[in-house]
Amino acid sequence: MKRSIKMNEQSMQAMEARIPELAGNAVRRAYYQALTTSGKVKEAVNGRLVETSADGSQRLIRTLRVPVAVVPGSKRVRVRAR
């Protein structure tokens, strides 16, 4: 049975400050694990969607659209083309 850990505001903020670092490490591990198991990874590089192989070679799949800047908290509605 685990003991409950009592946290104060300072310790909680210290743990929350590590979230970006932990997320970056998780993404890096997933990237290398995907390369190891399947030998290929699809990723966005400089506005292009490329397939990167374990040997380091890259194959262009397509060019990506320019990102749309969105103000935090605003709502966006997708308009379907007819």
Quick: pLDDT tens for 6-43.
Answer: 889 999 999 999 999 999 999 999 999 999 999 999 99
pLDDT higher than 90, residue 78: no
- Is there a domain that residue 34 lies in? yes
Count the domains in the chain: 1
What's the pLDDT band for 1 if we cut at 50, 70, 90?
low
Q: What is the dihedral of CA 44, 18, 68, 40, to 10 degrees?
A: 10
- Is there a domain that residue 14 lies in? yes
DSSP letter (8 states) at residue 73: T
Across the chain, mean pLDDT equals 92
- Is there a domain that residue 80 lies in? no
Cα 33 off chain centre by = 15
- Is there a domain that residue 70 lies in? no
